[in-house]
Structure 1
Amino acid sequence: MIALASIPYVGPFLAFATSRFGLPLVVAGVVVFFYEGVPIGPLRDIPWAGPKLASLVDGRVDREYAAGGKAEAALWQEKLRLAAIAQAADTKTRQQDIDAAAQEYIDKQHSDAARISELVRAQKDEDNVPPDPTKPAVCKPAGISAGVSTRLDAIGR
């Protein structure tokens, strides 16, 4: 005790800390220090030393805050991952719809080309039929004759 009393500041502090009023204050200070820690401010941002120093002097509140931040970041990462999966599935579905529509259009063009060639063949057959002597002569309906149609097809109608 004599060694502690010889240090100028420790002796009066121990005397106050063990007094009737000092003991509750010291206990309250220890509780606040445990929960709040030592505020280190911008020292926390130093790349290597900041996290090491924070782990030493942070209180329970700061540790829980950091743990909550990590949990929230992990939750957001999971939500972003699920959103990316949903977006990829939606994009794939839309692309399949576009491909199906394009294939339907191409199929319709091929069927239209076949139908047009049948109509042209029927027109040519109709133009080459000799006139029926039992029917009176009439004018043909207005339209493009088979010869003109063939020449137009050659140049790309």
Structure 2
Amino acid sequence: MKERSRNWVTEIIQMEKLTDYTSDPAYLNDWNGLMAQQQKFMDALENSCFFEFQIEGLGEVSIRGQRAYEQPVLLQAFDLKMRMAAYWKIVLRRLVDFMALHLQFCARNLVNKEMEEEIVKELFGRHDGAIEGMLEESPTIAAKREKLNVSIKLLSESKNVLANIMDRITTNI
């Protein structure tokens, strides 16, 4: 079960790596909030006394090696990093939700299917067929059932004969 869950999470992560899609409106809100700090970030880069910059929602980031790059490249890099940070929050939420659903689903299946199969195997596969013997019909009950079936057949035939006689009587009147 643990291995199945691990494989399932790996599949989800592979899907997330293939596409960067979300319809969650929180993504745009988070991204816009992060992008609102872009000018302050650029100002900190121009000011040579800052070596780290506090980005609200991400924490402190080092800006020492960033000064060597041109402004258009820095703007693109900042935008990409903020998109990834906003998207990662969505991915984490999805993983938590999907994992909770997956665990509930697996637990239900474990109890309803796999454990049921194991219990049946345990009951019928062991104890020298004692359970199977209990489920078999006893010879006296089988004989009574057979007598009842014969009686039902005779009653059914009698009903048909009686119906035919009644039809003849009503036709002759």
TM-score band by shorter chain is: 0.3 to 0.5
Q: Structure 1-normalised TM-score?
A: 0.33
Q: Structure 2-normalised TM-score?
A: 0.31
Report the structure, 1 or 2, having the larger strand content.
2
